[in-house]
Amino acid sequence: MKITIIGTGYVGLVTGACLAEIGHDVFCLDVDPRKIDILNAGGVPIHEPGLLELIARNRAAGRITFSTDIAASVEHGDVQFIAVGTPPDEDGSADLQYVLEAARSIGRYMNGFKVVVDKSTVPVGTAQRVHDVLAEEIAKRGLAGSAQHGFSVVSNPEFLKEGAAVEDFMRPDRIIIGIDEDEQGNVAREKMKRLYAPFNRNHERTIYMDVRSAEFTKYAANAMLATRISFMNEMANLADRVGADIESVRRGIGSDPRIGYHFLYAGCGYGGSCFPKDVQALIRTAAESGQNLRILEAVEDVNHGQKEVLVRKILDAFGEDLTGRHFAVWGLAFKPNTDDMREASSRRVIEALLLRGATVTAYDPVATDEAKRVFALDLKQAPELLARLTFASSQDEALVGGDALVIVTEWTAFKAPDFVHLKSVLKAPRIFDGRNLYEPDAMAELGIDYQSIGRPHVKLATDATPAV
């Protein structure tokens, strides 16, 4: 099938590359010539494991094309995926200007029946707005009612985890398709069935529903996952006060199959492009419908506060004034296996340290360039703070001269470091771990003062000889 993907961001690129991989003829459009130039030069503008190789293989096979030509993109695809950004507006609602502009472009140039698929995460009712924009553009051309210019709007939300998006797309646990039941919807259903047929050969993974339910499903899924994270973070903060170990608690409750282990890890808060934005958007949608989502309001509030928990532990140890203190930070991206800095906890932690007079050297395996760009924007009004932030080229380099190591992202490379070397280059053997990577008792045996989230702070014996 001929497929068009509008938008070469995270969702659009993964969707386009994976659909090309199963044999479809994919045309990827973006209005940003910089992105298209990078892609046509053999690069990828985002970091996602396996994506570069997937695109290269399908470009060589002639199954994927990248262009800024809007008319050509509309002409190409019988199915038009809208996969553009939906950033949060000032009031927390999703900004749909790019989605609606994509719909206008389709309506402006389409000739022949098109299935228009909302792949972007959008609020309930967006498909109707896309439908109205398409109809308006077709009417402007004097083609309203023409059978040759019919269309159907479908909701097909993505459920991709950054860092594992290619695997998630190629081996989905479910495919949600929202289609309204009418003559054109029946045509669209057949096309979508054919499009996703390779994923349903072993067993049917597609769940069909009405459009509004599909739109709602995406938000509800992300809200549930965010809720689990904030719940565990609240439990971790209580565990700190009552002397319990949140890791033991996690294992205890996660063993219940009704609960499970996924998204039950305590830490320094969630971030990224999805959870914060989608929770806010769902709260806003509820408010517009006259309802308060009290649980999600609490989820958001807990997450906001959780990003300060690690900072508070540092201040309790060193005092409010950190002038003359230097900290090593491991991890900048909001999660491992991505360079995404959106709503990353590192931004709040590092800025808090800088504001109190500290200097910071940070390291991330892939997000350093993006972090430099983001911090330059975050601190553009405070150049004196930015001057106290440097970036290391390795995790060992970041440690040198640090009063403590602060861990913010759980990269695999950080899970088993050389603790003997770590102690030799830090001014003092002290770790503040926002992701609970190590065992407190093991750290005490190594002679490391170790504080994590919701786990015991084992005081070092002054006369103990550290084991190595």
Which residues pair with residue 363 across a beta bridge?
330
| CA 425 to centroid of chain Cα atoms | 34
DSSP assigned state of 260: -
From 83, 73, 8, select the one nearest 43 (Cα to Cα).
8
- Whole-angstrom Cα distance, residue 373 to residue 216? 34
What phi and psi values does residue 311 have, to the nearest 5 degrees?
Answer: -60, -45
From 130, 166, 154, 163, select the one nearest 15 (Cα to Cα).
166
Kindly tell me the sign of the dihedral angle through the C-alpha atoms of 209, 213, 217, 219.
Answer: positive
Q: What is the 3-state secondary structure (H, E, C) of 159-170?
A: CCCCCCHHHHHH
274 is catalytic: yes
Tokens of 90: 């000032």
- Whole-angstrom Cα distance, residue 240 to residue 406? 18
From 93, 92, 218, select the one nearest 160 (Cα to Cα).
218
Q: What is the largest CA-CA distance in the chain?
A: 88
| Lateral strand order in the sheet of 2-6 | 64-67, 25-29, 2-6, 79-82, 114-118, 151-155, 175-178, 206-209
Tokens of 376: 């330059």
- The residue with tokens 């899924």 is 221
Q: Which of 18, 28, 268, 274 is catalytic?
A: 274
Query: DSSP string spanning 194-233?
Result: HHTGGGGSSS--EEEE-HHHHHHHHHHHHHHHHHHHHHHH
| Contact present, 5 and 74 (Cβ < 8 Å) | no
| Contact present, 229 and 270 (Cβ < 8 Å) | yes
Give kind and range of the element (H or E) at residue 96: none
| Contact present, 336 and 345 (Cβ < 8 Å) | no
Give kind and range of the element (H or E) at residue 39: helix 33-40
Helix pair angle (211-242, 126-140), 10° resolution: 140
Active-site positions read 274
